[in-house]
């Protein structure tokens, strides 16, 4: 069974990615660490969570929450088998792989295998082990 381990990335949409990059850089006070033609991503907060913006003309406004899974292909296949409809096919984004479905209720559910999530989890676990927590 696929385990949803935690939120990996939150993604917004923008039809003008350059304008969104400038605006969010000003709002957040940091430059995106990951930049592609169709996608940018920032790391924020105490655990360096990922916040992405995708160039998506005519897409509905809103958020896609991507849950980290160890096997994204199996997770997508299971979601589709359970009645979800493909919203975004699985694709590779450099080091990570993600896709999204519409659940039976019309919500967008994203799944992702994200090495950054795994690194942060290992860092958190090693810190707890070192402190005896």
Full set of structural domains in the chain with CATH: 6-131 (3.10.180.10)
Token pair, residue 112, equals 């992702």
- Closest by Cα among 75, 57, 56, 68 to 9: 68
Sequence-distant (≥ 6) Cβ neighbours of residue 66 within 8 angstroms: 7, 8, 9, 10, 11, 98, 100, 110, 111, 112, 114
Identify the pLDDT of residue 26: 94
Is the whole-model pTM more than 0.75? no
pLDDT at 128: 62
Q: Which mean pLDDT values do the consecutive 10-residue runs of the chain (133 residues) have?
A: 82 89 92 94 87 78 84 95 94 91 85 87 70 56
Q: What is the pLDDT of residue 64?
A: 85
- Return the pLDDT at 55: 87
């Amino acid at each position: 069974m696929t385990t949803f381990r935690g939120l990996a990335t939150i993604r917004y949409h923008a039809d003008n990615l350059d304008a969104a990059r400038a605006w969010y850089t000003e709002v957040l006070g940091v430059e995106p660490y990951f930049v592609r033609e169709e996608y940018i991503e920032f790391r924020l907060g105490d655990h360096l969570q990922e916040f992405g913006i995708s160039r998506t003309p005519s897409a509905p406004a809103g958020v896609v929450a991507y849950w980290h899974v160890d096997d994204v292909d199996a997770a997508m296949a299971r979601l589709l088998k359970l009645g979800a409809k493909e919203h975004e096919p699985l694709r590779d984004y450099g080091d990570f792989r993600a896709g999204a479905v519409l659940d039976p209720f019309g919500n967008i559910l994203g799944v992702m295998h994200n090495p950054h999530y795994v690194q942060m989890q290992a860092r958190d676990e090693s810190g707890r082990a070192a402190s005896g927590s």
